[in-house]
Every structure is written in C-alpha cells, then in structure tokens.
C-alpha cells in the first residue's frame, strides 16, 4: 500500500492533519522580559511568534517524535530582542534539535548549574540541545526568524522553572548588536 504523507512541509509551514498552530502574543510572555515598564507599555496583543507543530502521536508517548516550525517576529522589549518563552523538558534528560531556516538569531542554552551560553542561528545552522538544558531563541535580525525543531513526544515543557528563575544571562541589544550579559 502506498500512502500520501499526512503532513506537507511547504517551505516554512506545515499543512495537513494533525498540525497544531499556536500563537504567542506579548500577553503570553509575562515575566519573561527584564524591562517591566517597557513590557507594560507595549501592545499585549502583538504577536511575537507562531509555532506549527506536527504531533503524530499523543503527547507523552515514549519513543515518538514531534516536529515544529517556529516563526519569531523581529522586535524588542526595552533592550531585549523578541524571544521564545524557553523551557527545560519535563523529562529532563530529553534532547532536541533546532535548525535555522531563515533570519538571524541566537539560541540561548542553560544547564542545570545555571551556566548559560549562546549559539548563533543563521540559515542552515543546526543546533543540538542536550538533555537537562533549557533553550530559548531570540530574533536578533530585522526580519522574521524561522527555525525547525524535533523533540521526543514524551519530553514535555517545563516553563515554570524559567518563569521563576530565568536564564542566568540575558541577551541584550547593545547599539543594535546582541550581547550576552
């Protein structure tokens, strides 16, 4: 038997079933940015990023894989670039791949000892995110930043630890250039 693939990867988006589209607006990113005054002054309905996910098995299934395409818009809140919420995995040892398709950005990673480092994202860059490592992406360019992701279907997202303690370093726009401080 020959099957059509259920999902098509069209350049930067996914179409078909079951593709889930998630939109994150500024109001969903409370307690993420450093400059609370700048955050409060901003339009809470501003879309910061969209994620198209292909979830072929149930969340929590051991041994399966999920696939996602994230489109992160350009912008800043105070001195910080628009960025994803960032997370550890709920099953902490689960790893993930990110790869950049379009735009310019930085992948911030932080281990369990709160050591934070960054990798530059540019079209074609491939990033292996080891287990026990929090990950967040910032758009440091003037256009959209699009990246793919592949992660285990039982990894889960632990956002609470990041909302509470943040990353130990922040990526700031200093004279228009990214600086990890």
Other CB atoms within 10 A of residue 1 CB: 2
Residues 79-138 that bind Zn ion (CB under 5 A): 96
Tokens of 63: 């041994």
46/85 with CB nearer ligand M6P: 85
38/51 with CB nearer ligand M6P: 51
Interaction of residue 152 with ligand M6P, rule CB under 6 A: no
Name the phi and psi angles at 90, rounded to 5: -65, -45
155/172 with CB nearer ligand M6P: 155
Q: Which residues neighbour 40 within 8 Å (Cβ) at sequence distance 6 or greater?
A: none
DSSP structure class, residue 86: -
Exactly one of 84, 116, 139, 140 binds ligand M6P (CB under 6 A); that residue is: 84
85 binds, among ligand M6P, Zn ion, none (CB under 5 to 8 A by kind): ligand M6P
* Min separation Cβ 149 and Zn ion, Å: 7
* Min separation Cβ 151 and ligand M6P, Å: 6
Binding mask 44-83 for ligand M6P (x = CB under 6 A): -------x----------------x-x-------------
18 cis-preceded (ω within 30 degrees of 0): yes
* Min separation Cβ 79 and ligand M6P, Å: 21
Q: Do the Cβ atoms of 170 and 80 come closer than 8 Å?
A: yes
Tokens of 38: 């700048």
The DSSP annotation for 111-138 comes to -TT--EEEEEE-TT-EEEE-TT-EEEEE
Binding site for ligand M6P (CB under 6 A): 51, 68, 70, 84-87, 96, 149, 151, 157
């Amino acid at each position: 038997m020959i099957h059509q693939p259920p999902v098509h990867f069209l350049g930067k988006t996914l179409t078909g079933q079951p593709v889930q589209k998630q939109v994150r607006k500024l109001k969903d990113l409370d307690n993420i940015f450093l400059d609370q005054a700048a955050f409060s002054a901003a339009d809470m309905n501003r879309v910061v990023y969209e994620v198209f996910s292909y979830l072929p098995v149930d969340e929590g299934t051991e041994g399966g894989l999920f696939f996602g395409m994230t489109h992160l818009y350009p912008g800043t809140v105070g001195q910080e670039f628009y960025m994803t919420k960032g997370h550890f995995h709920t099953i902490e040892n689960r790893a993930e791949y990110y790869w950049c398709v379009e735009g310019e950005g930085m992948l911030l990673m932080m281990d369990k000892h709160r050591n934070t480092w960054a990798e530059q994202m540019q079209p074609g860059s491939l990033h292996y995110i080891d287990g026990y490592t929090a990950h967040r992406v910032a758009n440091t360019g003037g256009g959209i930043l699009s990246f793919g992701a592949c992660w285990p279907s039982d990894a889960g997202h632990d956002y609470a630890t990041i909302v509470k303690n943040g990353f130990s370093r922040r990526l700031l726009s200093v004279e228009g250039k990214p600086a990890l401080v």
